[in-house]
Chain A
Amino acid sequence: MSVAVREAPVVVPDAPAAVNDFAINVATANGSGSQTSNGVLLRALFKMGIPINGKNLFPSNIQGLPTWYIIRLSKDGFLARREMTDIQVCMNGRTVAEDMERVVPGGIVIYDDSLPVANNRKDVTYYAMPVKDLVKEAGLPHALRDYVANMVYVGVLAELLGIEPAEIEAALLHHFEGKEKAAGLNMAMVERAIEWTSGHDMRNESYRVERMTGFNEGKILVDGNTAGALGALAGGLSLASWYPITPSSSLAESIEKYAPALRTDPDTDKATVAVIQAEDELSAIGMVVGAGWTGARAMTCTSGPGISLMSEFAGLAYFAEVPAVIWDIQRMGPSTGLPTRTSQGDIHASYYLGHGDTRHVVLFPANPAECFEFGRVAFDLAEELQTLVFVLSDLDLGMNMHISEPFEYSDAPFRRGKVLSAEDLEERQGSWGRYMDVDGDGVAYRTLPGTRHNMAAYFTRGTGHNEYGYYSERPEDWEQNLERLKRKFETARQMVPPPILDEVDGADVGIISLGSNHDGVEEARARLAATGLTTNYLRLRALPIDESVRSFIDRNKTVFVIEANSDGQLHSILTTEEPAQALKLVSMAKCDGLPLSARYIAEQVRKALEEELI
């Protein structure tokens, strides 16, 4: 094991290092109710205007295994995971030793005084909290004591760092959705802890929080799964079917939660969306395909193991050309893997899911606002292209809280694609072929079941078919059909959300990355720039790639492809699709269950460039 070393100095020179610029790590046991206290801390800091990010590292367990919550404060707005801890809160005796390894010299350790914390590091300051006594003194009903114990560290941190009690109270009220009694009980505990702390002269000089402006104004605090749910509900969702699996369950549960407010028909008071918990993922995707075929916007959400089960339907949707949307909130695989840790390991699986020659459109949201936007975009693309569309999020984006731009309301018409009505058929005198490429873009016209015209019907099948949908084993029909599907994929390249480019004059080192790596990449670029190494950045937002990816690679000498898996899946797709440029592409793939840190990215880039120079 490596010895704890102080992290490289922060980027911005002359910054008073420890005002609004440090990381708090709260170590608790799963099931001890720390979600409330951590959420309240995060929100209070957010409301003080401080750029923050909260990352929950939790076990696949209901009660007892260790859980960490890492709050990063960054006045400069760098919100990637920090590897080192400035302030460690120990509420779990079993992890004290490893928790201490991550504390920086000069750091602070606050611990429950009933825990076996050996104060043996001379370079940190220890404070013992008499949690049991304080809980007792707060005079709360017995039954509630366990629930509020975690509020002790909230109060201690508030007093120690200068978090405004009024913001803590407001955050509690928000958490308990306005229920004053619940908020009040918790606040009483916080106040008792504040009082105790102030009486013990624990004010420290090294770490402070201060109210600030310029970053959080007008923004919201939200997780990606809530954002995706709202985006789908605003994007015309009619059917969501799902089977519970971490970390995607909260997406479906958010749809359930918000559907009554957002999708009750005001005229009839009835639902305009159905949410169905299926018996398994096969059934979940089957329902989506059935509904998409019938003409409704339908989606399911799942994670790696579910994707595996959906494979056969993915091929059917691709080949029979049925609109469908799958949200994959990625976690660590292979197999059951680390079910509660983040990864980007399903890029290959989703791009190629299915047997035979299949390729799917895959979207990569990087933040909650994009999750919201892609909630609708995925449906537009699925219906316009009559195909399966994946939205690839991950546990870090989906389940952790992020500061986000508010979501923009849109009443632009939904793009429902090429659908022939009874009147259209009348005009064409019923002559149409379901799989006929009339417009040359590979996308044929479809009709919906229930269209009142006796030429509307066609037969959908996963078996070989000709332009009219009739069964065919003719080699020509097969090839023609697959050629058209390729043409359709070319059309898709032009329609998917384009990459976002950030290029710097004179830079010739490029970075291609995707999704939730964005925060780490941006901070790494700033660190590198501070040492004189400027980089260009292309954030890929979808597969298939478009022309701009090729020209970006063209413009750079070396391009690092940064992703959170171990095989370099995006790298391999890019080298396959841009073989002429393959030698320029350097894979930087890391997968340890944690969001990529800026330190890791910056060090790897520098190391690779130095080695190349030698």
Chain B
Amino acid sequence: MSTRTRTDAAARRAARPAKTNRIGLEKTSYRGRPSTLCKGCGHDSISQRIVNAAWEMGLDQTQVVKLSGIGCSSKTPAYYLGWSHGFNSLHGRMPSVATGAIIANASLEVIGVSGDGDTASIGIGQFKHAVRRNLPLIYIVENNGVYGLTKGQFSATADEGQFLKYQGVNDLPPLDICMEALTANATFVARSFAGDMKQLEALLKAAMNHRGIAVLDIISPCVTFNNHDTSTKSYGFGRANEIRLHDLSFVPEFEEIQIEEYEDEIEVELHDGGSIILKKIDPDHDPKDRTAAYNVIQQSLDEQKLITGLLYINEEEPTFTELLDLTDTPLTHLPDEKLRPSREALEGVMATLA
């Protein structure tokens, strides 16, 4: 019985060859290890979009590296692009590790993944300096407004007035990742939503094509820690027992939020019963106009809406590696004799010390 099933499946595959990309690989080759995040976590949706975008672009995974800081978001590089080297580094320090990797081997495609705590709290300094250097780096922030991995504290992107069960009300204004990136002279700034398949994949592909730093602020709901009990539409499920989340051994399973295509704005209901309004950027917005980008972000903040789409792009600025004027051959590929001076050159210096 089972034998026949396998034969049938094989026959079916043979009849309908699996879809492969331009380098002849099936999409499954772009997967990573199974995710250990909460079911329904927005971060998993983003991982899926990375798999899709990389497959569709036909990326050679052996020439890609995936770097991250620390957090639920930063765990995700293990869950996609299994043939790529990955480095889950330190909380808030992914940008510096990425800088070193990029300089060592400028031919690699480098994807950095971070969280809002990782980037906007502990790592705001490294973030802004990586942006300022215009590193050839795709910098993804999986932004959920909380610290997921340490169980639900406010991050620096939490909305003013937001309520979290165990921390109460957030009194401080949020940092806006896109605004911070723009101020630090980012050459590619975009925002999207984890559940917006089409827009997110398009932006990821655009980021992969960008020479310098591409900052993608992706709103990515945390299904477990953005609860608030004032919500009328809360999942009363795991909450009925009122167990403190620090002792939580039961995490309700949710579906990842996916949204349909939308034109102008869409209100997205989150797992906790709250909602956010996503607003697509006006098709007439000129993404090469920095001032317009500032205005559009500020306006959406004033309206308490999250503007999504490509906010700013500048293809003119040199990247950090271009400025360093290094050999075209990556430094890691140089043979010994190129990594040391000639005997004469050293003797020349020694003569000045004698």
Contact = CB atoms under 8 A, between A and B. Distances in A.
Do the two chains belong together in a single complex? yes
B348 A286 contact: no
A474 interface: no
B315 to A, nearest CB: 23
B326 interface: yes
A239 B103 contact: yes
Contacts of B347: 409
B65 interface: yes
A533 B346 CA distance: 44
Contacts of A312: 90, 93
B61 interface: yes
B83 to A, nearest CB: 5
Interface stretch (A15-23, A29-37, A103-111, A229-237): A229-237
B343 A291 contact: no
B90 A462 contact: yes
Contacts of B42: none
Contacts of A280: 125
A222 interface: yes
B104 A409 contact: no
Contacts of B327: 265, 268, 270-272
B353 A220 contact: yes
A313 interface: yes
Interface string A261-283: 11101101011111010111011
B240 interface: no
Interface string B308-349: 000000000000000011111011101011111111011111
A139 B55 CA distance: 78
A450 B339 contact: no
B88 interface: yes
A290 interface: yes
Contacts of A230: 346, 349
A271 B326 contact: yes
B343 A411 contact: yes
Interface stretch (A155-163, A292-300, A392-400): A292-300
Contacts of A462: 88-90
B97 interface: yes
B126 A279 contact: yes
Contacts of A320: 87
Contacts of A290: 67, 87, 89, 96-102, 104
A301 to B, nearest CB: 15
* Residue among A230, A289, A471 with max Cβ neighbours from chain B (10 Å): A289
Interface string B206-235: 000000000000000000000000000000
Contacts of A456: 62, 83, 85
A594 interface: no
Contacts of B248: none
A600 B341 CA distance: 43
A435 to B, nearest CB: 15
B24 to A, nearest CB: 12
Nearest to B94: A286
Interface residues of A, number: 76
Contacts of A297: 339
A294 to B, nearest CB: 4
A187 interface: no
B61 A457 contact: yes
A278 B133 CA distance: 10
A94 B263 CA distance: 77
A290 B98 CA distance: 6
Interface string A208-247: 0000000000011110001000100111111101000000
A262 B337 contact: no
A298 B346 contact: no
Contacts of B342: 266
A289 B336 CA distance: 21
B330 to A, nearest CB: 8
Contacts of B88: 459-463
Contacts of A282: 93, 96, 126
B1 interface: no
B86 A298 contact: no
Nearest to A416: B336
B126 A457 contact: no
A471 B78 contact: yes
A313 B73 CA distance: 20
Nearest to B29: A454
B71 interface: no
A396 B63 CA distance: 45
A457 B36 CA distance: 20
Contacts of A262: 341, 345-346, 349
Contact of B86 (A283, A284, A460): A460
Contact of B332 (A220, A273, A294): A294
Nearest to B75: A471
A413 B33 CA distance: 39
Given A261-B348, A271-B324, A272-B327, A291 B90 contact: no
B11 interface: no
A269 B255 CA distance: 56
A116 interface: no
A447 B86 CA distance: 12
A283 B33 CA distance: 30
B324 to A, nearest CB: 5
Contacts of A449: 65, 84-85, 101, 105, 108
A457 B86 contact: yes
A176 interface: no
A283 B85 contact: no
A406 interface: yes
B354 A293 contact: no
Given A221-B353, A274-B331, A295 B105 contact: yes
Contact of A451 (B62, B93, B125): B62
B301 to A, nearest CB: 27
A203 interface: no
Nearest to A292: B100
B100 A239 contact: yes
Nearest to A322: B87
Contacts of B331: 238-239, 272-274, 296
A452 B83 CA distance: 10
Interface in B1-54: 29, 33, 36
A361 interface: no
Nearest to A174: B352
B177 to A, nearest CB: 18
A222 B345 contact: no
A605 interface: no
Contacts of A234: 340-341, 346
A450 B96 contact: no
B343 A409 contact: yes
Given A236-B336, A283-B93, A406-B354, 19 more contacts: A237-B339, A262-B341, A263-B341, A268-B327, A271-B325, A272-B334, A274-B103, A278-B96, A290-B87, A291-B101, A292-B100, A295-B104, A296-B100, A312-B90, A406-B350, A450-B105, A457-B86, A459-B85, A462-B90
**Considering the complex of A and B, which 7 residue pairs feature the smallest CB-CB distances, nearest first?**
A290-B100, A286-B96, A296-B104, A291-B100, A290-B97, A262-B341, A287-B100
16 contacts: A219-B354, A274-B324, A284-B96, A285-B96, A286-B95, A286-B126, A291-B103, A295-B332, A298-B104, A414-B336, A450-B330, A457-B62, A457-B82, A457-B83, A458-B86, A460-B87
